[in-house]
């Protein structure tokens, strides 16, 4: 049988170096790359392609472990040599990969035009981008696998350094994205890797030829200088080439009311800033500034001189509907999603006494309050206006004010239809349109107050999916508050949006609409061109065959039949399944996957189709790059004892960790008040405390089997806590200051992090003691875990969309119970070898 060609630990250098600094930097840099690339890919392609970044990063790191297992040359090299040159290779691949990813032209929509040369060309371009992303993480994976395989006695401390580095990166990367942008963050990662290699070359005590050390120092210095220059002078960096479907002329042409000209010259760009949500580009359109969000038209800032008499355009605008039913000027208005301030202007025009306007995106908020403040007539400084940056749902939940109008606008009709046309939000979760959110809004209304929600629809008569779902969800929220005739509390109005699609307004009240209010709304619909009431309670109007009207007026039994027979999923959603824009069932998408995409209506299954594609790609690449290469060392692989148990163990903790992590990020979005805060705080807390758990795992090495039942008990208790107690705690503490809420998040996540942190070191330690091929077996475990993590990142979202995040948490628990059972098998004493 082939023997291991690895050099024994004592034969390498005699050094007691633990490489904790180096692995800390690797993990820190890889997390910077991963998060920064999600922003780059979201701008360059579409945001749902960010799943590629997560999967390819995990694939690259896992593939590095496989390369170590199958490469005799790497296994024979000294550890310090591998780490020094690996850091250089990682830095070079990061810089080269950055230019490839940002500059390769692509049109992702044409990929779905099956069988054409254009489809093949753009698929190749996507593969090139994926390869560049993947390659950026391979060298890091090689180094980590080498260190884990050769430092098994101290693997807990190494794994702890790895996780703490990743956790600290999560804690700072959001601020770096705001401060310098993702391009510079990526190059900072390259600089850190090169600098660490250079440092190691000067402190190394390896018995290595001076010429080789000198060459490494020269290369590391050159690469480091290149990265430093690009970081110091970011103006040298080329702008990211976005998907050609994100055409600035096409987007801004929608603003040319009545005369869109897609061939018109690109208007002057006034500003471009990266944020935690998306990149914002501001273009001068004369009387307004178009704001593009990740390359798509998002909203606009309108020129205003501070005189409300100049705002008569709203008398014939769908924004009139928010105020039309009021018998007197409203006193208090809350706008959730204030964007560039158009709804604030409308509220001022219609005589609102005070306006709380909440905008989630800090870049948009800073443009309105800073750079373009004078352009807006200093709108944010108006004594009636309180324009704040934050999460609207969190602002509402923390408020004790009763409002006359709570308004959820599509920031502008053109951005609403633009979002529908691009399928931009299909896979995103939104806590603004759930039954819980509508219920909270109803609870914050005055006795005669009104909730207003506005949406864009590509074709209202054919499939008003957004409107239908919102009406169904509003109905559920009303019924949960004891309303027996929810249709009497709902009005639906359709308008024609600028040049593309339709624009709908849904009005919801705690009390039934009166006849006088319906008459007033009817007059308002007559004042707004191309508008009509589609549903209003008697003596109002129900448009024949209008699905929204049917949903509002149906009995419970009729509603169940209607929703089951409707070709799209438009039933009510809640905070457990907050995927408002998920209308196509995965079964239908899978059955029609081979059919070309309807490029006119990309919201119809595009996001779901991409998710299934990415799941397939993740599984295929994982098999090809992580599992198949072990064929090259098949004799050794066949000698691994208890392969089934080890595969179950490392796959279970890979899936389980991803499921816990992503579900808890969602659990804390409302509590922390900003999606990016939830991402960074949850990841930082889980990873840091997982690192602490890994560090403490050495205390369990000699009593693993006795620890299995206590570990299972702790995970079970924590799962029940996160399912049932955490929501009550976060609701009760929502009024606390942000720093205090962040501290609470760290505290509630700490026990889970510590508990899960012991699992990887215990598993790697267990299998390394089963065979003389411990390095290869560690690489095998690392590869299986990587495969599960890659597919788990996509599968988590798919399962949450189908069954909800509570189910994802329960599945995570099942995976960890399976892992503990497998660990029991792995730690069973080996039978004596036959004589």
- Annotate 602-632 with DSSP letters as a single string: TTTTHHHHHHHHHHHHHHHHHIIIIIGGGGG
pLDDT digits (tens, 9 = 90+) for 139-161: 998 998 888 877 767 777 888 88
Cβ atoms of 240 and 44 within 8 Å: the answer is yes
Cβ atoms of 157 and 18 within 8 Å: the answer is yes
Q: Residue written as tokens 């824009």? A: 581
What is the C-alpha to C-alpha distance for residues 251 and 452, in angstroms, rounded to an integer? 26
pLDDT digits (tens, 9 = 90+) for 238-277: 999 998 888 666 555 555 544 445 566 778 889 999 887 7
For residue 283, list its beta bridge partners.
269, 290
Q: What does the pLDDT read at residue 222? A: 94
What is the C-alpha to C-alpha distance for residues 35 and 683, in angstroms, rounded to an integer? 11
Tell me the C-alpha to C-alpha distance, in Å, between residue 368 and each of 43, 376, 380, 385, 445: 22, 7, 7, 13, 28
What is the C-alpha to C-alpha distance for residues 556 and 18, in angstroms, rounded to an integer? 66
Q: What does the pLDDT read at residue 212? A: 64
Q: Residues of the chain with pLDDT > 90: what percent?
A: 49
Q: What is the mean pLDDT of residues 192-215?
A: 78
Chain center to CA of 61: 21
What is the C-alpha to C-alpha distance for residues 386 and 334, in angstroms, rounded to an integer? 10
Q: What is the mean pLDDT of residues 619-636?
A: 80
Please give the span between the terminal C-alpha atoms of the chain, in angstroms, as a whole number: 17
CB within 8 Å of 93: residues ≥ 6 apart: 135, 136, 138, 139
Q: Which residue has the higher pLDDT, 698 or 830?
A: 698
Q: What does the pLDDT read at residue 356? A: 98
Angle value at C-alpha 812, between 806 and 817, nearest 5 degrees: 130
CB within 8 Å of 411: residues ≥ 6 apart: 298, 299, 300, 337, 339, 340, 342
| 498 phi/psi in degrees, rounded to 5 | 10, -100
pLDDT digits (tens, 9 = 90+) for 63-72: 887 888 788 8
For residue 508, list its beta bridge partners.
451, 490
Highest mean pLDDT: which range of 20-34, 168-182, 578-592:
20-34
| 336 phi/psi in degrees, rounded to 5 | -105, 105
Q: What is the mean pLDDT of residues 377-391?
A: 94
What is the C-alpha to C-alpha distance for residues 35 and 551, in angstroms, rounded to an integer? 41
Position 5 pLDDT exceeds 90: no
Look at residues 274, 615, 344, 581 and name the one whose alpha carbon lies nearest to residue 458.
581
pLDDT digits (tens, 9 = 90+) for 703-726: 888 889 999 999 999 999 999 999
What is the C-alpha to C-alpha distance for residues 90 and 84, in angstroms, rounded to an integer? 10
For residue 827, list its beta bridge partners.
none
Q: Which residue has the higher pLDDT, 218 or 624?
A: 218
For residue 220, list its beta bridge partners.
none
For residue 539, say if its preceding peptide bond is cis, omega within 30 degrees of 0: yes
Q: What is the mean pLDDT of residues 534-563?
A: 92
For residue 451, list its beta bridge partners.
406, 508
Q: Residues of the chain with pLDDT > 70: what percent?
A: 90
pLDDT digits (tens, 9 = 90+) for 745-798: 999 999 999 999 999 889 988 888 887 877 778 878 888 888 888 888 888 888
What is the C-alpha to C-alpha distance for residues 289 and 217, in angstroms, rounded to an integer? 50
Sign of the Cα pseudo-torsion (641, 643, 649, 654, in order)? positive
Chain center to CA of 118: 29
CB within 8 Å of 702: residues ≥ 6 apart: none
Determine what percent of the chain falls in helix, strand and coil, rounding each to the nearest 5: 65, 10, 25
- Annotate 771-806 with DSSP letters as a single string: -S-HHHHHHHHHHHHHHHHHHHHHHHHHHHHHH-HH
Q: What does the pLDDT read at residue 87? A: 95
Look at residues 587, 563, 569 and name the one whose alpha carbon lies nearest to residue 426.
569
Burial of 83 (0-12, 13-18, 19+ CB in 10 A): buried
Tell me the C-alpha to C-alpha distance, in Å, between residue 263 and each of 110, 248, 251, 443, 523: 20, 10, 11, 49, 39
Q: pLDDT grade, residue 566 (50/70/90)?
A: very high
What is the C-alpha to C-alpha distance for residues 73 and 632, in angstroms, rounded to an integer? 14
Cβ atoms of 86 and 139 within 8 Å: the answer is yes
- DSSP H or E segment with residue 453: strand 445-457
Inter-helix orientation angle 155-180/117-150, to 10°: 140
What is the C-alpha to C-alpha distance for residues 169 and 163, in angstroms, rounded to an integer? 10
What is the C-alpha to C-alpha distance for residues 695 and 657, in angstroms, rounded to an integer? 18
Lateral strand order in the sheet of 288-293: 269-273, 280-284, 288-293, 296-302
Q: pLDDT grade, residue 702 (50/70/90)?
A: confident
Chain center to CA of 127: 22
**Can you list the positions of beta strands (E) in 277-323?**
280-284, 288-293, 296-302
What is the C-alpha to C-alpha distance for residues 399 and 397, in angstroms, rounded to an integer? 6
β-strand pairing of 354-359 with 385-389: parallel
Compute and round to an integer the Cα radius of gyration of the chain: 29
Highest mean pLDDT: which range of 43-52, 295-304, 368-377, 540-549:
368-377
Token pair listed for 84? 């020094």
Q: Which residue has the higher pLDDT, 623 or 205?
A: 623
Position 651 pLDDT exceeds 90: yes
Position 829 pLDDT exceeds 80: no
Residues in the chain: 835
What is the C-alpha to C-alpha distance for residues 709 and 712, in angstroms, rounded to an integer? 5
Give SS3 for 442.
helix
Angle value at C-alpha 807, between 804 and 808, nearest 5 degrees: 90
For 233-253, b/e burial (b = at least 16 CB within 10 A) is eeeebeebebbebbebebbbb
Q: Establish how many alpha carbons lie within 13 A of residue 424's alpha carbon, considering only the half-sphere containing its beta carbon.
A: 22
CB within 8 Å of 294: residues ≥ 6 apart: 42, 43, 46, 47, 246, 278, 279
């Amino acid at each position: 049988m082939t023997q291991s060609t690895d050099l024994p630990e004592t034969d390498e250098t005699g050094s007691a170096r633990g490489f904790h600094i180096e692995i800390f930097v690797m993990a820190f840099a890889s997390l910077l790359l991963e998060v920064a690339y999600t922003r780059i890919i979201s701008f360059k392609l579409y945001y749902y392609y960010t799943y590629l970044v997560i999967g390819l990063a995990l694939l690259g790191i896992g593939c590095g472990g496989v390369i170590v297992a199958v490469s005799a040359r790497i296994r024979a090299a000294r550890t310090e040599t591998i780490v020094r040159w690996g850091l250089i290779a990682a830095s070079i691949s990061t810089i080269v990969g950055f230019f490839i990813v940002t500059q390769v032209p692509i049109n992702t929509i044409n990929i779905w035009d099956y069988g054409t040369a254009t489809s093949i060309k753009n698929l190749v371009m996507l593969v090139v981008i994926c390869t560049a992303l993947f390659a950026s993480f391979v060298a890091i994976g090689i180094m980590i696998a080498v260190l884990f395989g050769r430092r098994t006695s101290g693997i807990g401390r190494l794994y702890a350094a790895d996780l703490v580095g990743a956790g600290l990166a999560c804690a700072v990367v959001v601020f770096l994205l705001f401060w310098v942008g993702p391009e510079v963050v990526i190059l900072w990662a390259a600089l850190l890797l090169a600098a660490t290699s250079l440092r190691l070359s000067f402190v190394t005590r390896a018995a290595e030829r001076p010429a080789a050390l000198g060459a490494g120092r020269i290369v590391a210095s050159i690469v480091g200088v290149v990265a430093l220059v690009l970081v110091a002078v970011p103006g040298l960096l080329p702008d990211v080439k976005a998907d050609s479907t994100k055409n600035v002329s096409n987007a801004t042409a929608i603003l040319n009311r009545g005369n869109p000209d897609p061939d018109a010259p690109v208007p002057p760009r006034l500003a471009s800033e990266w944020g935690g949500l998306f990149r914002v580009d501001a273009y001068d359109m004369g009387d307004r500034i178009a704001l593009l969000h990740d390359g798509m038209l998002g909203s606009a800032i309108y020129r205003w001189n501070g005189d409300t008499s100049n705002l008569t355009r709203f008398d014939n605008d769908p924004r009139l509907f928010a105020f039309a039913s009021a018998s007197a000027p409203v006193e208090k208005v809350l706008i959730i999603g204030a964007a560039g301030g158009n709804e604030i202007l409308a509220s001022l025009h219609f005589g609102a006494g005070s306006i709380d306007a909440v905008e989630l995106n800090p870049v948009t908020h800073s443009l309105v309050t800073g750079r373009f403040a004078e352009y807006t007539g200093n709108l944010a400084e108006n004594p009636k206006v309180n324009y704040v940056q934050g999460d609207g749902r969190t602002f509402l939940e923390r408020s004790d004010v009763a409002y006359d109008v709570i308004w959820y606008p599509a920031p502008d009709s053109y951005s609403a239809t633009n979002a529908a046309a691009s399928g931009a939000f299909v896979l995103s979760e939104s806590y603004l349109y759930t039954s819980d959110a509508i219920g909270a809004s109803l609870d914050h209304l005055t006795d005669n107050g009104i909730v207003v929600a506005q949406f864009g629809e590509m074709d209202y008569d054919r499939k008003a999916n957004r409107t239908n779902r919102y009406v169904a969800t509003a109905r559920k929220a009303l019924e949960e508050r004891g309303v027996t005739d929810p249709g009497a509390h709902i009005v639906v109005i359709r308008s024609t949006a600028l040049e593309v699609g339709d624009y709908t307004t849904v009005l919801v009240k705690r009390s039934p609409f009166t006849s006088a209010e319906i008459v007033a709304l009817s007059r308002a619909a007559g004042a707004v061109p191309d508008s009509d009431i589609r549903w209003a309670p008697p003596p109002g109007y129900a448009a024949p065959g209008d699905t929204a009207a049917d949903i509002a007026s149906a009995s419970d039994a009729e509603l169940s039949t209607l929703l089951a027979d409707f070709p799209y999923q438009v039933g009510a959603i809640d905070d457990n399944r907050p995927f408002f824009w998920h209308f196509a069932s995965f079964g239908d998408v899978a059955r029609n996957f081979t059919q070309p995409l309807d490029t006119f209506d990309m919201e119809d299954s595009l996001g779901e189709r991409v998710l299934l594609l990415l799941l397939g790609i993740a599984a295929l690449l994982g098999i090809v790059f992580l599992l198949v290469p072990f064929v090259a060392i098949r004799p050794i692989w066949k000698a691994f004892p208890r392969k089934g148990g080890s595969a179950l163990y490392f796959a279970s903790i890979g899936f389980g960790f991803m499921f816990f992590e992503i579900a808890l990020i969602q659990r804390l979005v409302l509590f922390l008040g900003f999606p990016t805060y939830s991402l960074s705080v949850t990841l930082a807390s889980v990873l840091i405390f997982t690192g602490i758990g890994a560090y403490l795992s050495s205390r369990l090495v000699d009593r693993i089997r006795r620890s299995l039942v206590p570990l299972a008990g702790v995970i079970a208790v924590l799962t029940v806590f996160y399912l049932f107690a955490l929501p009550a705690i976060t609701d009760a503490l929502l009024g606390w200051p942000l720093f205090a809420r962040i501290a609470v998040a760290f505290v509630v996540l700490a026990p889970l992090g510590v508990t899960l942190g012991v699992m990887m070191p215990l598993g790697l330690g267990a299998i390394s003691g089963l065979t003389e091929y411990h390095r290869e077996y560690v690489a095998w475990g690392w590869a299986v875990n990587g495969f599960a993590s890659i597919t788990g990142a996509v599968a988590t979202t798919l399962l949450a969309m189908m069954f909800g995040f509570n189910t994802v948490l329960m599945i995570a628990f099942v995976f960890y119970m399976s892992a503990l059972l497998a660990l029991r098998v792995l730690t069973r004493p080996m039978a004596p070898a036959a004589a």
